[in-house]
C-alpha cells in the first residue's frame, strides 16, 4: 500500500462517518513490509475501539490550524485574545482529571521482580484482560488520530520513534508541540526503524446524536506499560502525561527499559549550556524532583556579570556514552509542558517570555480581556477573573483561580534563551551532572562526589523533606532517587546497577563530574539560608571552576565541599554564620540518615548493587571518625 492512499477516511469496521477531502493528511508514496505492519496494527486497534473515522496526522500547519478551529467550534478550547496572546488557547479539564494518575499507573512486565517494589506491577495477561473490554468500542462516534512522532530529531543517532493512536484532538495538538510529528517518521518506520506503540482513549464513546462534553473522560483510568513489547495503553484520562504518551510514558518509563538494554540512560533531567565570561561553554544536566527549582535552573539568568546560560531542555534528557569516552546528551522533547502556578516575572521571567503566544494553557484562569492568569504570574491578582472551572472569581473568593497543577504547552523554540543548536541530532557532551532535592536540614548547598560510584550513591539517595524540619532532627524523607521514582520502567535497584555499568564505559578523565546541590537549607530560625533563583549561578560558577581545576575543595565525610573563599559572593550579602550553616555536616545526624538509607535499600530485597553498600559502609566509617571524642 502506498502512503498516498492513507488519509482521513471512514473506519470500515465501524462503517460510519464522513471523510475529509482526499489529500488532506495524505502521505508520501513509500511502500514496505514495515509500513504494512504499522497499517495492520492501526486497523487492529480500530477494529477494537470502533471509531467512526481514522485520520493519519501529517504534522502540517494547515492540519493543526484546522484541528484547533474545530476544537474551538466544539467548545473544547477557548481562543485567547490575539492582541495579548496570539495563537493561544485555554482548555478546561474535568475536575476529576487534573493530574497524573500514579495509583492507576502500572508496569506490566512478565516478572514482578523486574518491575521492583517502587512500581505498581501487574501481570500482562491479567491487565490485558481488564483493559481490552474497556477499549472495546471506546472510540465509537469519534475520530481516531494516528500520530507518528519522533523523540529527538528525526533520524538522529540518539533519537527514537513511536506512533500514538488517540481519540483526543487536544492530545494530538499537544503531541504536535511536544514531539516531532510528520511523514518523515513514517519514512523511518518504512525503512525498518523500531517504533514504540502507544494507544490512548478518553473512554467516552458517543452514541448517534449524543452531544459531546467539553472535556470527555472516564472515571475508570489506567496507564499501562508493557516493557517487553514496548507498548503503552492509556484509558480514561485526557490530561497531560496520561494523554501525551510520548512524554513520561515513552520518554522515561519505556525509554529507560530501552536504554537498559542498549546501554544508555533515559533521565528526568534538565539540560543547559553554561558559558563563562571568556566564552567557554560547559554542558550540565540536573535531576530534581518536583518543586525543587528544576525549571528555574533550566532557564537560569545568572546574577554574576559575564556568565550566560542557554536552555537545551527543561525536563527529560537521554544520555549515551560516546566513542570518545564522554557522556552525550539530547533533549528528546520539542516543547515545554510546565506547571503554571509559581511561574512569574519575579521567579522565572524567561518562562513568562516564552509564553507570549502559540501556547495551549490548561486549567489556568481567564481574564476579562481574554488573556490568562495564574497564582504567581504577577504579585497582585486581577480584580476579577473566570477561574479554571469557569466560575466567577475575585481575590476574596477564598480559592485558587488556577488549578495548582495547571499547565502550559509551548514549543521549546520560543524560549528566548534557547540554544541555537538545542535540537542538534548528535547532542552535547556533558561536563557535570547535578542531583538535588528540597532539604531543610543536613544537605549542604553543594557537595562534589569523589568519583562516579560515589555520584551514583548520591543519586540513589535523593530525597525531599515532607515535614517541617525541627532543630536537631531530620524531617520525614520523601525518597525520589535520581528524581526517577515515578518514572523508572523497571526495578530501581537494577537501574542503580545500570548507572554503574554506564560509568564503566566512560573515560575516567572525560566522565561528567557529579554534584549534589540544595538551594533549600534552612537555619534554626526557619529562614532559607541561600537566596536561590539567579544567585544559584554562583554555585554553578564554583562547579565549573572545580571542573577546570581552578579551585580546590575541602574533604568532608559526605564528599568535597567548597572553600568558602572560593565562592563568588560579590553583589550579595550572605552572613558568615549562614555560610557556616549552609555547609555544616553533623556526623550524628548523618549517621541517622545513613540508617534511613540502609532501610530504603532493604526495600529492594538484596538487589541493590554491592558497590553502593560499600559506599554506605565507607560513609559511616568517615562519619564515625569525624564525631567529636566523648
Which residue in 515, 505, 461, 504 sits closest to 483, CA to CA? 461
C-alpha cell at 501: 555499568
| Packed helices 124-135 and 33-49: angle between N→C axes, nearest 10 degrees | 70
Catalytic residue from among 217, 249, 292, 415: 292
SS (H, E, C) 189-241: HHCCCCEEEEEEECCCCCCCCCCCCCCCCCCCCEEEEECCCCEEEEECCCCHH
- For residue 459, which of 436, 488, 432, 477 has the smallest C-alpha distance? 436
Cα–Cα distance for residue pair 95/4, rounded to 1 Å: 41
- Measured from the Cβ of residue 54, the count of other Cβ atoms closer than 10 Å reads 26
Q: What is the DSSP letter of 121?
A: B
Q: Which of 517, 381, 528, 397 is nearest to 446 (CA)?
A: 517
Q: Which residues of 260-269 are buried (b: 16+ CB within 10 A; e: fewer)?
A: beeebbbbbb
Asked if 292 is an active-site residue, the reply is yes
CA distance 199 to 470: 47
Neighbours of 122 (CB within 10 A): 18
Cβ pair 163, 8 in contact under 8 A: no
The angle that helices 610-626 and 587-602 make with each other, rounded to 10 degrees, is 160
Tally Cβ neighbours within 10 Å of residue 104: 17
Strands 160-166 and 195-201: parallel
- The grid coordinates listed for 283 are 554542558
d(CA 292, CA 440): 12
Q: Catalytic residue numbers? A: 292
Amino acid at each position: 500500500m502506498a502512503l498516498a492512499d492513507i488519509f482521513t477516511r471512514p473506519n470500515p469496521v465501524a462503517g460510519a462517518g464522513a471523510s475529509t477531502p482526499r489529500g488532506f493528511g495524505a502521505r508520501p508514496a513509500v511502500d514496505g513490509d514495515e509500513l504494512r505492519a504499522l497499517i495492520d496494527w492501526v486497523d487492529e486497534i480500530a477494529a477494537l475501539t470502533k471509531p467512526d473515522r481514522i485520520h493519519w496526522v501529517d504534522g502540517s500547519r494547515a492540519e493543526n490550524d484546522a484541528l484547533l478551529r474545530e476544537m474551538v467550534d466544539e467548545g473544547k478550547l477557548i481562543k485567547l485574545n490575539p492582541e495579548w496572546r496570539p495563537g493561544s488557547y485555554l482548555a478546561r479539564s474535568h475536575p476529576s482529571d487534573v493530574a497524573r494518575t500514579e495509583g492507576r499507573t502500572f508496569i506490566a512486565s512478565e516478572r514482578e521482580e523486574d518491575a521492583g517494589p517502587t512500581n505498581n506491577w501487574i501481570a500482562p495477561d491479567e491487565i490485558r484482560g481488564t483493559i481490552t473490554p474497556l477499549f472495546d468500542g471506546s472510540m465509537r462516534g469519534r475520530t481516531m488520530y494516528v500520530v507518528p512522532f519522533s523523540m529527538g530529531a528525526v533520524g538522529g543517532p540518539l533519537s527514537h520513534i513511536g506512533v500514538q493512536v488517540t481519540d483526543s484532538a487536544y492530545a494530538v495538538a499537544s503531541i504536535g508541540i511536544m514531539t516531532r510529528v510528520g511523514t518523515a517518521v513514517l519514512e523511518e518506520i518504512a525503512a525498518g526503524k523500531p517504533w514504540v506503540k502507544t494507544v490512548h482513549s478518553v473512554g467516552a464513546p458517543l452514541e448517534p446524536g449524543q452531544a459531546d462534553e467539553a472535556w470527555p473522560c472516564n472515571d475508570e483510568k489506567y496507564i499501562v506499560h508493557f516493557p517487553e513489547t514496548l507498548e503503552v495503553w492509556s484509558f480514561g484520562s485526557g490530561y497531560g502525561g496520561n494523554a501525551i504518551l510520548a512524554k513520561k510514558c515513552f520518554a522515561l518509563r519505556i525509554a529507560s527499559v530501552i536504554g537498559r538494554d542498549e546501554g544508555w540512560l533515559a533521565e528526568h533531567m534538565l539540560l543547559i549550556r553554561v558559558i563563562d565570561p571568556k566564552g567557554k561553554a560547559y554542558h550540565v544536566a540536573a535531576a530534581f524532583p518536583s518543586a525543587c527549582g528544576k525549571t528555574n535552573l533550566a532557564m537560569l539568568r545568572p546574577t554574576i556579570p559575564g556568565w550566560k546560560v542557554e536552555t537545551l531542555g527543561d525536563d527529560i534528557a537521554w544520555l549515551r556514552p560516546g566513542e570518545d569516552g564522554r557522556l552525550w546528551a539530547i533533549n528528546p522533547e520539542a516543547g515545554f509542558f510546565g506547571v503554571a502556578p509559581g511561574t512569574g516575572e519575579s521567579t522565572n521571567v524567561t518562562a513568562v517570555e516564552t509564553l507570549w503566544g502559540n501556547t495551549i494553557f490548561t486549567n489556568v484562569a481567564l481574564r476579562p480581556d481574554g488573556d490568562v492568569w495564574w497564582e504567581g504570574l504577577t504579585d497582585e491578582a486581577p480584580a476579577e477573573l473566570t477561574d479554571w472551572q469557569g466560575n466567577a472569581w475575585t481575590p476574596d473568593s477564598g480559592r485558587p483561580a488556577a488549578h495548582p497543577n495547571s499547565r502550559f504547552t509551548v514549543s521549546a523554540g520560543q524560549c528566548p534563551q534557547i540554544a541555537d543548536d538545542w535540537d542538534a541530532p548528535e547532542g552535547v557532551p556533558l561536563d557535570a551532572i547535578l542531583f538535588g532535592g528540597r532539604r531543610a536540614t543536613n544537605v549542604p548547598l553543594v557537595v562534589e562526589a569523589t568519583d562516579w560510584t560515589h555520584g551514583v550513591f548520591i543519586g540513589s539517595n535523593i530525597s525531599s523533606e515532607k515535614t517541617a524540619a525541627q532543630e536537631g532532627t531530620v524531617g520525614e524523607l520523601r525518597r525520589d532517587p535520581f528524581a526517577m521514582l515515578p518514572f523508572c520502567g523497571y526495578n530501581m535497584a537494577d537501574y542503580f546497577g545500570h548507572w554503574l555499568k554506564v560509568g564503566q564505559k566512560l573515560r575516567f578523565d572525560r566522565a561528567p563530574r557529579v554534584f549534589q546541590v540544595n538551594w533549600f537549607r534552612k537555619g534554626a530560625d526557619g529562614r532559607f539560608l541561600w537566596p536561590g533563583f539567579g544567585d544559584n549561578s554562583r554555585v554553578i560558577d564554583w562547579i565549573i571552576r572545580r571542573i577546570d581545576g581552578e579551585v580546590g575543595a575541602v574533604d568532608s565525610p559526605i564528599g568535597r565541599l567548597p572553600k568558602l573563599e572560593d565562592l563568588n559572593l560579590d553583589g550579595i550579602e550572605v552572613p558568615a554564620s549562614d555560610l557556616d550553616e549552609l555547609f555544616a555536616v553533623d556526623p550524628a545526624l548523618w549517621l541517622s540518615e545513613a540508617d534511613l538509607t540502609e532501610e530504603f535499600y532493604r526495600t529492594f530485597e538484596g538487589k541493590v548493587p554491592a558497590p553502593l553498600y560499600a559506599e554506605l559502609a565507607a560513609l559511616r566509617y568517615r562519619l564515625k571518625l569525624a564525631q567529636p571524642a566523648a
